[in-house]
Amino acid sequence: MTIEVLWFCLLWWMLAAYVVLDGFDLGVGVLHLVVAKTDGERRQVLRTIGPVWDGNEVWLIAAGGTMMFTFPMLFAASFSGFYLPLMMMLWLLMGRALGIELRHQIDDPLWNQFWDVIFSLSSLLLVVIFGAALGNIVRGVPLDEKHIFFEPLWTDFRVGPQTGILDWYTVLVALAALAALTLHGALWLHARTDEAVQRRAGSVVGVLWPVVLMLSILAAIASFIVQPNIIHGLETRPWVAIFPALAIISIISVPLLLKRSRSRMAFRASAVYLASMVASAAVGIYPYALPARDPALGMTVVNAAAPAEGLTSALYWWIPGMFLVCSYTYVVSYRSMPERFRLR
């Protein structure tokens, strides 16, 4: 394995960590107005993510910073070509943070309801944008010879040489991401709350699980259609099939674990499902770091990477830094949380 490929794997690992960790509190945000009916229940829901939501978002910043120094050409092309959705993402991230932090500043029902809506709507739209972005990466973007591209928000919703950010495929992936992360959030609430919120979260899981399974299958079939490199990758590297197989096994195990009252294991199975889906996307586009609609113009892992000497030096700093981050996240943030956040 070359240093470029190693960093490609590490970058996608960080993105998978973000999806798993921030994914459940995004899902909690989507469900905030659904599973919590009273002010006390909404406070209970927010307490389940209160100690960790801002730390979870740092993984997105860390992944972006890692991309900047390991794959500078990829960083430049992606952040310029996706400028509009990135600006939308930043506003929505601020909306979520303001919804959480400002809700408690004034004890007034109208004030609380306003920020509850902002928090929930921002969470929902963020998931949709992240899902559409993943769909764009898997499908490929209209890169030119200079590795520059621009996409309007939409064109004719067809997958062709000149695509928009939204088309039938990216919308499908966005819907699959919305269903999957909402399910992830529901499983978190089912494992971490009690009484009415827990019951409603369990009902949401029962409704969403078949939707996630169906949309995942449809998105996988569509990915084979819009990105021929996936088939080529399976033919040359059949071992990569382990990731979609793991995703299938883990998502099927969710209702089985819930029937045995093992809600935390069901949540962990959802986490494995999400990580496996992200890994499937990474191995699906490899050897490209950013596929193009014209395969000859795609940005590969090798030509998008920084010089090997710099990548090697960066690795010596990344490993101890990541060890400290993971240790702090697990020991201080998650191990110190109560078993359940009960209604006060």
CATH number at residue 298: 1.20.1630.10
Residue ranges of the chain whose pLDDT lies below 50: none
Is 344 within a domain?
no
Give the pLDDT of residue 78: 87
- State the total domains in the chain: 1
| Residue with token string 């929902």 | 124
Is 257 within a domain?
yes
Is 340 within a domain?
no
Is 341 within a domain?
no
Amino acid, single-letter form, for residue 229: N
> Which residue range forms the structural domain that includes residue 260?
3-334
Give the pLDDT of residue 235: 82
Give the pLDDT of residue 205: 97
Model's pTM, two decimal places? 0.95
Per-residue buried b or exposed e for 217-232, using 16+ beta carbons within 10 Å of the residue's own CB? eebbebbeebbebbee
Is 231 within a domain?
yes
Cβ atoms of 254 and 269 within 8 Å: the answer is yes
Name the nearest CA neighbour of 281 among 184, 170, 182. Answer: 170
Give the pLDDT of residue 229: 87
> Tokens for 303?
């030509």
Is 23 within a domain?
yes
DSSP for residue 331:
I
| Residue with token string 């294991």 | 265
C-alpha torsion 223→224→225→228, nearest 10: 110
